[in-house]
Amino acid sequence: MDSLLIKGGVPLHGEVTISGSKNATLPIMAAALLTSEPCIIRRVPQLTDVRFMAQILTWLGAKVTFQGDELRIEARKIKGIGDYDLVRKMRGSICIMGPLLARLKSATVSLPGGCVIGARPINLHLKGFEALGAKIQISGGYVHARARKLVGTEIFLGGRAGSTVLGTANVMMAATLAEGITVIQSAACEPEIVDLANFLNAMGARITGAGSPTITIQGVKELHGAEHEVIPDRIETATYAIAAAATNGEITIHGSNPGHLTAVLDKLQEAGVKIERRGPDLIVRRGGRLKPVDVTTLPYAGFPTDAQAQMMALLTLAPGISIITERIFESRFMHVSELARLGADIELEGPSAIVKGGRPLSGAPVMASDLRASAALVIAGLAAKGTTRVLRVYHIDRGYENIDGKLRALGARIERVPES
């Protein structure tokens, strides 16, 4: 098991290129199960979650081949069972259920695992499958879904914390091969849903409205192979932009999509960070003294929960009081105690974190609890004086491609070392 050793206090300078989106790649890989013909996916990030999904598809019977950032999937003959030992490793694996149910009319999938950031039930996924005509049973830690046929209908997928991204993806994939028209109301509007819909349409699906709260799917009899390039990872983009600001540096971010990051860029500018857009590129630099801001996480196009921890790391450096309110996941403040080990002054009050910023951070050993918390601790370590050791970085490898290499190219003093 590795850890990251960071000698902080060095401003980041240079250029970094953003990888393909993890959260778009995983459902798109699952969607390849909808056809027996080959699918080619480009700009695929080299992440442990992607490798886990490849293992799951291989277990199901698909042939999966990597060549650089290009992935070829051929699911000529597949089975409808997702094994616990594979599915438990990440929550995104539940998105195989929709394609399996659509193509085989039967799916048995283990309840998923993933980061420990609060309850993320799959009840809305199952509600959607049942509305399409599936019979659902949960026993022995597995979800069993069966359907003589799937029939389009109107489905409301709103939940306590808003729309469900994976649920929208799962039901949308199942509906592509259902009879008639399916209308998903309160659908997730995230760019990753739009990217999945574009891939499905390239396969022959008939989907309109992706990116809005109402998605309409006209079912077709079969889908065919397709080629697709994954969108850039908006959370990786946000992470590097925040890291540049935290270290008082200046970097150019290539290959992003600034339109997917409006809420994050707005808050960074409110905090005193200078941002210049040049097409798909961003130039980010500290514009002087940081200012405190209030942040509330919301479904897209609001401030993403996946950038909350990183923003908190930045705001520990801004003199004054910032308030961060988490409206998506109730247990997503596990990084607070670790940031405190570096000298941050943060108090929790219900769904909010009160950040009393402006105190200097100093290096210390810290332990990552989840993917985005890992990134926050790396950012804090880059800004802190002295040496920070981030333990359990297998979390960060789930969602950031070669993060230590990319940061070293920006001048960071960071290395991957074995945990003692």
Q: Range with the lowest mean pLDDT among 169-178, 253-262, 266-275, 323-332? A: 323-332
The confidence score (pLDDT) of residue 329 equals 83
CA distance 94 to 122: 8
Mean pLDDT of the chain: 94
- H runs (alpha helix) in 61-206: 84-87, 97-104, 123-131, 165-175, 191-202
Q: Range with the lowest mean pLDDT among 1-5, 114-118, 277-281, 363-367? A: 114-118
- Tokens encoding 284: 């980010």
Average pLDDT over residues 288-295: 96
The confidence score (pLDDT) of residue 139 equals 87
Token pair 């199952």: residue: 126
Average pLDDT over residues 200-214: 98
Q: Is the confidence at residue 229, as pLDDT, over 70?
A: yes
311-346: pLDDT as tens digits: 999 999 999 999 999 999 877 899 999 999 999 999
pLDDT > 70: what percent of the chain? 95
Q: Is the confidence at residue 420, as pLDDT, over 90?
A: no
Q: Is the confidence at residue 89, as pLDDT, over 90?
A: no
- List of residues 6+ apart from 219 with CB closer than 8 A: 150, 152, 175, 176, 177, 178, 179, 180, 181, 182, 206
3-class DSSP string for 216-240: EEECCCCCCCCEEECCECHHHHHHH
Q: Which is more confidently placed, 67 or 163?
A: 67
3-class DSSP string for 16-79: EECCECHHHHHHHHHHHHHCCCCEEEECCCCCHHHHHHHHHHHHHCCEEEEECCEEEEECCCCC
Q: Is the confidence at residue 82, as pLDDT, over 80?
A: no
The verdict on whether 115 is a catalytic residue reads yes
- What's this model's pTM, rounded to 2 decimal places? 0.96
186-205: pLDDT as tens digits: 999 999 999 999 999 999 99
Q: Is the confidence at residue 115, as pLDDT, over 50?
A: no
Q: Is the confidence at residue 112, as pLDDT, over 80?
A: no
Identify the sign of the CA torsion 239, 399, 15, 385: positive
Determine which one of 39, 95, 115, 189 is catalytic: 115
Q: Is the confidence at residue 169, as pLDDT, over 90?
A: yes
Helix (H, G, I), strand (E, B) or coil at 150: coil
The confidence score (pLDDT) of residue 211 equals 98
Token pair 């659509």: residue: 102
Q: Which among 388, 235, 383, 411 is positioned nearest to 315, based on CA atoms? A: 383
Token pair 């039901």: residue: 171
Q: Is the confidence at residue 168, as pLDDT, over 80?
A: yes
Token pair 């778009």: residue: 24
pLDDT > 90: what percent of the chain? 87
Q: Is the confidence at residue 118, as pLDDT, over 60?
A: no
The confidence score (pLDDT) of residue 116 equals 42
Average pLDDT over residues 268-277: 98
Q: Which is more confidently placed, 119 or 315?
A: 315
The confidence score (pLDDT) of residue 120 equals 47
Average pLDDT over residues 89-95: 75
